[in-house]
Amino acid sequence: MEFKGKVAVITGGASGIGRSVALALARLGADIVVSDIDDVQLGEARQEIESVGRRALAIHCDVSKDADVDNLAAQTLSTLGKVDILMNNAGVGVRSRVEKISIKDWEWILGINLLGVIRGVHAFLPHMLKRGSGYIINTSSAAGLVASEPPSIAIEGIAYGTAKFGVVGFSEGLFGYLRPKGIMVSVLCPGMVTTNLGFNSRYVGSDQEIADMKVEVEEMFNINTPGVIESDDVAQIVVKAMKEKRFFILTHLEVQAALMSRGQDVQKLEKHLQDTFGD
């Protein structure tokens, strides 16, 4: 895929993976629309993009709100005239044992991490279908492939993993539907990356439980922790995967190994069911 002259829209683009991908694409010749709820970082990201000589729009957008996402699409198309690449990247976290998570917290994380992706596709897909071309990247997580990767997800990250599994399933369906129509779909499933997800999370529990969870999350996203990589490294992986038109974009060998192990477990389950119930 060539990026020169393309227009890319990236939600959650003011920091972390979104910002790094925005800059990587800009350096390859794309014009960028970054959206986020952090207006200060949003302005900084726009300036960085413009500093490499590309056009940039910075649009405040809360992906949990229909009107905000519709406005993002309307402003992008009215100003830049087209969208070639859509990266649904905005995300948050809820950390708690599942019995303590309120329905409001479930609605919050699903409204951003899953419905935010769906809203993005809903707003921009008609334009891509009309043109018969486009590229959609949805950001999931290693936790969207294997519920116990990393292990703490199985204990305190069930809400996050649930939302991210939904993104993978949605993306698989889109891939099958849109590929014949000239629109490519990829799902990004990063492992541990230096982002501000820990700051964009809700913690539920006793004061001590919350303190312990915050310490654990800080360690998970610390660049000095083995296995943690920079968001700029992820951006290069994303660019390479887009050029190769790969559906799964994985950032860590451990994630690939965990996914292979999950596949083997499914095969074992299938054999068990056949042995138990017959064909």
- pLDDT, residue 148, reads 61
The answer on pLDDT for 231 being more than 60 is yes
Residue 252 banded pLDDT, cuts 50, 70, 90: confident
Please report, for the chain, the start and end positions of each structural domain, with discontinuous segments joined by +: 7-277
Lowest-confidence range among 82-91, 138-147, 268-277? 268-277
- pLDDT, residue 1, reads 81
Residue 261 banded pLDDT, cuts 50, 70, 90: confident
Provide the percentage of residues in the chain whose pLDDT is more than 90.
67
- pLDDT, residue 271, reads 65
CA–CA dist 275, 272 (Å, integer): 5
* Residue 116 CB neighbours (<10 A): 29
- pLDDT, residue 248, reads 94
Secondary structure of 70-126 as H, E, C letters: HHHHHHHHHHHCCCCEEEECCCCEEECCHHHCCHHHHHHHHHHHCHHHHHHHHHHHH
- pLDDT, residue 110, reads 98
Q: Tens digit of pLDDT for each residue in 14-29?
A: 999 999 999 999 999 9
Strand 93-95 vs strand 134-139: parallel, antiparallel, or unpaired?
A: unpaired
Provide the percentage of residues in the chain whose pLDDT is more than 70.
83
Cβ(236)–Cβ(228) under 8 Å? no
The answer on pLDDT for 115 being more than 90 is yes
Q: Tens digit of pLDDT for each residue in 176-218?
A: 999 999 999 999 999 888 776 656 677 787 777 767 766 676 6
CA–CA dist 167, 119 (Å, integer): 12
The answer on pLDDT for 152 being more than 60 is no
Q: Tens digit of pLDDT for each residue in 57-85?
A: 999 999 999 999 999 999 999 999 999 99
- pLDDT, residue 269, reads 59
Question: Would you please indicate which residues are annotated as catalytic (active-site) residues?
Answer: 160
**Burial call 5-39: b when 16+ CB within 10 Å, e when fewer:** ebbbbbbbbbbbbbbbbbbbbbebebbbbbbbbee
Per-residue pLDDT, averaged over 39-68, amounts to 98
Per-residue pLDDT, averaged over 35-50, amounts to 97
Q: What is the mean pLDDT of the chain?
A: 88
Question: Which amino acid is present at 225?
Answer: T
Residue appearing with tokens 């609605």: 107
Spelled out in words, what is the top-level CATH class assigned to the domain 7-277?
Answer: alpha beta
Q: Tens digit of pLDDT for each residue in 84-95?
A: 999 999 999 898
